[in-house]
Amino acid sequence: MLSSGGGPLNLDIRLDIEEGEFLAITGPSGSGKTTLLRLLTGLIPADEGFIRFDGQTWLDTRQGVNRRPQERNVGLVFQDYALFPNMTVRQNLSFALSKNQSPDIVDELMAITELVELEGAYPATLSGGQQQRVALARALVRKPRLLLLDEPLSALDASIRSKLQNYILRLHEAFQLTTLLVSHDYREIFKLASRVVALRQGQISQPDLPEAVLFSSGQDGDIRLSGEVLSIEEAGAGFAINVLIGHNVVRVPARPKDIQQVQPGDSVMVSFQAFQPELVR
């Protein structure tokens, strides 16, 4: 039993992740997403479980194996960054160096994330996006093979998000990482991840959007647009969901079971079956 924001929660998960995969984890708040990341890092114990990564057993409650966070070499980016306020940008990164590790990696990471000019700045003087880049770079100093991102972009506005998503992708590829991203944002998931799982009440369930919709290349005439749910209203026998797409509001018919899974403010994808799409100038 674990406690989450919404009270006690039984997290019961079996998950296999491919090496080099970019996996997104979504689900309502209190469903165990952050708890899952904390279990993977070893920051909290599991009652029962088995975690094996890259040939190393990190957790095996039957054998009494439970590696400490220090021995797991996993990079974790906290939702609120958790930068050390008493250290400059460079010191935050250098702090993470292992004994005898060459400091070159610090310079390399600062170059990739464009932090070189900020190396002497303290976290309190940085913008949210800059802090995010420091947290990301710091998590990679030890060259972990596994990177965990806990809603890393939720506190940032849209223009910075998109830029940071590019950094994340670049680092994922440059360091050949296996990456787990907790996110609510389907646009973000679509852009970054190659697979998505949803957590509900501590269990893996179907994502709100089927993967087929998210990741398939789509067939002719299948148009997908991402937007934000504005409101849900009754319409005739069913419901209608108003979705803001760009500057347009689109009214999408919905069945009662559809509306249970969305609420205003959610980001969603709207899929249109167009018989013959045509560009009009």
Partner 1 sequence: MAAAFWQTLWLTFQLAAATTVLLIFIGIPIAYLLSQSQSRWKPFLEALISMPLVLPPTVLGFYLLLAFSPERQLGAWLEHTFGLRLVFTFAGLVVGSIFYSLPFMVQPVQSGFENLPRNLAEASYTLGKSRLQTLLRVQLPNIKPPLLTGIVLAFAHTVGEFGVILMIGGNIPGQTRVASIAIYDEVEALNYGMANQYALVLVAFAFTILALVYSINRRLLRTG
Rule CB under 8 A: say whether 252 interacts with partner 1: no
Minimum distance from residue 42 beta carbon to partner 1 (Å): 8
Rule CB under 8 A: say whether 96 interacts with partner 1: yes
Minimum distance from residue 84 beta carbon to partner 1 (Å): 6
Within positions 116 to 145, which residues make up the interface with partner 1, using CB under 8 A?
Answer: 122, 124, 138-139, 141-142
- Compute the Cα dihedral for 43, 44, 45, 46 and give only its sign: negative
Q: Interface with partner 1 by CB under 8 A: which range of 7-15, 58-66, 74-82, 180-188?
A: 74-82
Contact 121, 87 (CB under 8 A): no
Contact 40, 74 (CB under 8 A): yes
Which of residues 1, 64, 70, 247 is near partner 1 by CB under 8 A? 70
Size of the site for partner 1 (CB under 8 A): 26
Which of residues 4, 61, 73, 88 is near partner 1 by CB under 8 A? 73
Q: Interface with partner 1 by CB under 8 A: which range of 23-31, 69-77, 182-190, 197-205?
A: 69-77
Quote the Cα angle for 64-182-41, to 5°: 25
Burial (CB < 10 A; 0-12, 13-18, 19+), residue 266, is middle
Strands 7-9 and 2-4: antiparallel
Q: Residue with structure tokens 């610090």? A: 106
Q: Interface with partner 1 by CB under 8 A: which range of 48-56, 64-72, 179-187, 208-216?
A: 64-72
CB atoms within 10 A of CB 90: 19
Q: Interface with partner 1 by CB under 8 A: which range of 84-92, 231-239, 246-254, 269-277?
A: 84-92
Minimum distance from residue 81 beta carbon to partner 1 (Å): 9
User: What six digits make up the tokens of 80?
Assistant: 């609120």
Rule CB under 8 A: say whether 95 interacts with partner 1: yes
Contact 31, 204 (CB under 8 A): no
Minimum distance from residue 115 beta carbon to partner 1 (Å): 17
Which of residues 11, 23, 31, 75 is near partner 1 by CB under 8 A? 75
Beta sheet of 195-200, edge-to-edge order: 74-77, 146-150, 178-182, 22-26, 195-200, 203-205
Minimum distance from residue 241 beta carbon to partner 1 (Å): 36
Instruction: Compute the half-sphere exposure of residue 188: CA atoms within 13 Å on the CB side of its CA.
Output: 30
Beta-ladder partners of 225: 270
Rounded CA separation 44/193 (Å): 26
Rule CB under 8 A: say whether 272 interacts with partner 1: no
Q: How far is CA 274 from the centre of its chain?
A: 32
Rule CB under 8 A: say whether 171 interacts with partner 1: no
If the CB atoms of residues 33 and 72 are measured against partner 1, the closer one turns out to be 72
Contact 25, 36 (CB under 8 A): yes
Site string for partner 1, 20-49 (x = CB under 8 A): ---------------------x-x------
Q: Summarize as ranges the residues that interact with partner 1 (CB under 8 A).
A: 41, 43, 68-70, 72-76, 78, 80, 82-86, 95-96, 98, 122, 124, 138-139, 141-142
